Amino acid sequence: MAEEKTVFPEGMPLVSVIVPTFNREHCLERALKSVQMQDYANWEFIVADDASTDGTYELAEKLAHSEPRVRVLPRAERNQGAAAARNRAMTAAQGKYLALLDSDDEWLPGKLTRQVAAMEAADESVGICFTGAKILKNGGPRFALDIPRKEWEKDPLAYIAIGHLPFTTSTTMLKRECFENVGGMELALRRGQDAEFFMRIFFNGFGLITIQDVYTVMNLETRKSRLYDKACQRQKFLMDRYYQPIKERRGTGLARRFASQLCQDVADRALRERHYIGAFCELWKSMFYHPANSFGSFKRDVKAFLCGILPFL
């Protein structure tokens, strides 16, 4: 039976909340409650379950029975990663705006109203809006703040290319037009696919608007992960796809700084995982591409090295 298209009130653009999930039975309802607490009522909450093996999918169906704005997509037959789940949800979305929300994160009251107002008032070229985020680690009392900068709005492509535009995915609202224009997140990337997606949007001429207030809580569970191979894969993918286009459109300087930063990212992961030969090679390549950028990352390299050896001191 075909799903009926919901009719929403005029004057309030529909926001599609994009919620990929995998084995998040313990926190999915918390994410939904944070959306229900918004003072902006015109939203749909789209759950894309990535083949969970716990009770996440059953919980999502239960939530949909009590909340008509919840839409649960058919459960994936096999786990394909967050990019595939987000793409399924974005494809199914009916809203003018897509608001990304990881199922272990939550929003603070007022987020949707503030972002919709900002996007509606912005220039037509603006495609993405970031807000500030509070990052909680392992549920403890210590936290960090991730606050976007107004200066990013001047040239978001340049800032993201050189690694100076960090972001928290769950703060992001974008026009559905962006997704329709550039396509979905890259399935070949198992890590950093959201950053590549945003970079592609900026590369295609869409602008950025930032809100410095905190409207998102990111619940980060830190654990030792072996990500060196994925970092190398991401580096090769981004170099192959973007180095030459950036060089042709924005000049050699930005392209070489982009390449240098990719090398720094791999070196950082290599130092944390004690791949010292690989780290040395990447640091040398970073120096070759852009010496100033390489020296500017010295403190970061020292921190990554210490993180790698401290467990053994």
Token pair 């509070």 in the structure block, residue: 134
Residues with Cβ within 8 Å of residue 234, at least 6 apart in sequence: 189, 191, 192, 196, 262, 265
Q: What is the DSSP string of 101-129?
A: --TT-EE-TTHHHHHHHHHHHS-TTEEEE
CA–CA separation, 99 and 128 (whole Å)? 10
User: What percent of the chain has a predicted confidence (pLDDT) above 90?
Assistant: 73
Look at residues 91, 89, 23, 70 and name the one whose alpha carbon lies nearest to residue 51.
Answer: 23
pLDDT at 168: 86
Mean pLDDT of 178-188: 95
Residue predicted with more confidence, 10 or 176: 176
Q: Where are the domains of the chain?
A: 15-220, 228-312
Look at residues 42, 52, 53 and name the one whose alpha carbon lies nearest to residue 85.
Answer: 52
Q: Which region, left, alpha or beta, applies to residue 192 given φ > 0 means left and ψ of -120 to 50 means alpha?
A: left
Residue 2 has pLDDT above 50, yes or no: no
Mean pLDDT of 126-138: 92
Residue 299 has pLDDT above 50, yes or no: yes
Residue 58 has pLDDT above 90, yes or no: yes
Instruction: Tell me if the domain spanning 15-220 has CATH number 3.90.550.10.
Output: yes
Band (274; pLDDT cuts 50, 70, 90): confident
What confidence tens digit (pLDDT) does each residue in 213-246 have? 999 999 877 666 678 898 999 999 999 999 999 9
Tokens of 91: 């494809």
Tokens of 152: 């990013």
What confidence tens digit (pLDDT) does each residue in 99-127 have? 999 999 999 999 999 999 999 999 999 99
One-letter identity of residue 257: R
**171: DSSP letter:** G
The sign of the CA dihedral 208, 210, 215, 216 is positive
Highest mean pLDDT among 86-95, 161-170, 298-307: 86-95
User: What percent of the chain has a predicted confidence (pLDDT) above 70?
Assistant: 89
Tokens of 156: 């978001």
pLDDT at 308: 59
Residue 311 has pLDDT above 70, yes or no: no
pLDDT at 5: 45
